[in-house]
Structure formats: structure tokens, C-alpha cells
Amino acid sequence: MKSTLIISAVQQPCNADQQTNLELSVAKIHEAAAANADLVVLPELHLGPYFCQSEDPDNFNLAQTIPGPSTEILSTVARKLAIVIVSSIFEKRTAGLYHNTAVVFDKDGSMAGTYRKMHIPDDPGFYEKYYFTPGDTGFKPITTSIGKLGVLVCWDQWFPEAARLMALAGAEVLIYPTAIGWDLQDTAQEQNRQLDAWSTIQRSHAVANGLPVISCNRVGFEKAPDSETGINFWGNSFITGPQGEILTNADESETKLLACAIERSGTERVRQIWPYLRDRRIEEYGDLTKRFID
């Protein structure tokens, strides 16, 4: 395998129709390939507006099978450009069973694997439990021609257990397709606290596991149905090295391809200096399987 990888992420608005959003994603994938990227990550549910702001049974019509029309297009793009793609699909598994699913395509266009979002939020404006069944794929890296990818999705990014299990299973990079933003009613101070917490928790996963992290968010205001409220997706996508250092990032509103080089040997060097895996007291961690310790 190559000792140096070019990894990239697409920060984009997703508030248009499916065809327009997909065309923008594909255009940015072409841009990544032109920059010799080995890997490109797309935002969570990038094919359309964030429909989980309301509970509407008609939204289930947005779901697609895997494989399906969009995966066929992305498969063709991956094969044509010889690039690994991490996409995000509202999956219809069968009638009445739906998932928020990341799909990974290898450089030959084959489907390397899928990851179904494990942690499902249910908050004002983020009514995902109405739509998504929690994943059953476990925290297992997806093996590709460029290495093992620890793909997780959005709300998963707040849980250190998920990142650790991916690392223990051999993930070489942690990847978080994301759709997160601000409530317009929050103060500027609260918005800053939320953004700082979001960046900090993901950088901490890089530090605690000695792994690069790709965090890929959408941008733009998306109005809630039948309301003047909505979510202002805050962008700020970034890529870190294995010590949590920011290698490249975007601001809160720009459409941008982020790209940088990472050395495959970086994780080994960092783990030799900070041997967290060596010093874990695994015999004392049994209570982590409990909901709460009374």
C-alpha cells in the first residue's frame, strides 16, 4: 500500500433537489480526483435537505435501496476516477425498515461495505428516531484498497466507545459524515460553545486512539417545514492528524473540498510515544456495559 495517502472531504450545501445535490457532490469528487486524492468523504444524507426536522410519513418515499439508483452512479464515478468514496444514503432495507447508512465504494467501483448509524438522536429539529432503525453492522472497519476505514455517522461522533472499538478493530482513520447545525434561537455564545464542543470531542478521538479523523459537515440554512425556524448547518469540516492537530479545515459557510496528505506510519509513531492501548486496564472496564452505576 502507498505510504502517503491524499484524503479529502466535501463540505457542501444539501438544500436543493436530489439531482442538483448529487451533481455537486460528483463535481467535487472529480475535483478531488484531479488533486490525486485517494479518498473522498461526502456529508451525511447529502442527497437532499435534512428531512428529519419534522415527522412526516411522506419522507419515507425519499429512501433508496442499496444497491439503488444513487449507489450505481457513485459506483461508476469511483471506478472512472479510481478513488474511494464514502457516501451517505437514506436506506430502505425493506418495507417499514429504514437506516441512515454510509456506503463505501472502492477504487474499482465495487461496494466495499456499509455502516448503519448506531446512535440515533431524537431532539427538537433532529427527529431521527422516527425514521431510522439503529444500525446492526457493529463497529467494524470497512476494508478497502487503501486500508481499513472506521466509518461512523454524525451522532456517533460524540461517543468515545464507538471510536475506540473502531480503533481496536484495526481502523486506520476515523470518518464522520455529519449534518449538524445551530438553532437560530440560540445565542451567539451558546452557538460558539456547541461548535467548540463538537470540534473538541472529535479531535479527542484522534488523540485517544492515535488516528487521523475526517469530519465532513454540510453548510447552509434549511428551513423547517411549515415554520420560520430551521437549522443553520455550521460547516467547519476538518481533517486532523493522529495527535488531533488540524491539517485542513473550512469555515461555517463555504462550499469547499478539503484535502491533505497523511503518512500511514504516523499512527505507529504516535502510539509508540503515547501507548494508550498498552496501558488500558481492560480488566477494570466491565461496568462500561452498564447503563448507569448505582
Report, as residue numbers or ranges, the catalytic residues. 44, 117, 154
- Residue 282: which residues within 8 A CB-CB, separation 6 or more? none
Measure the CA–CA gap between 132 and 111, rounded to whole angstroms: 22
Which residue(s) pair with 166 in the sheet?
Answer: none
Of 26, 34, 7, 35, the C-alpha closest to 214 is 7
Alpha carbon separation from 103 to 9, 10, 241 (Å, rounded): 15, 15, 23
- Residue 181: which residues within 8 A CB-CB, separation 6 or more? 218, 222, 231, 232, 233, 234
Handedness of CA 77, 79, 84, 89 (dihedral sign): positive
C-alpha cell read off for 253: 459557510
Alpha carbon separation from 98 to 59, 86, 138 (Å, rounded): 11, 19, 16
Residue reference for cell 501507548: 275
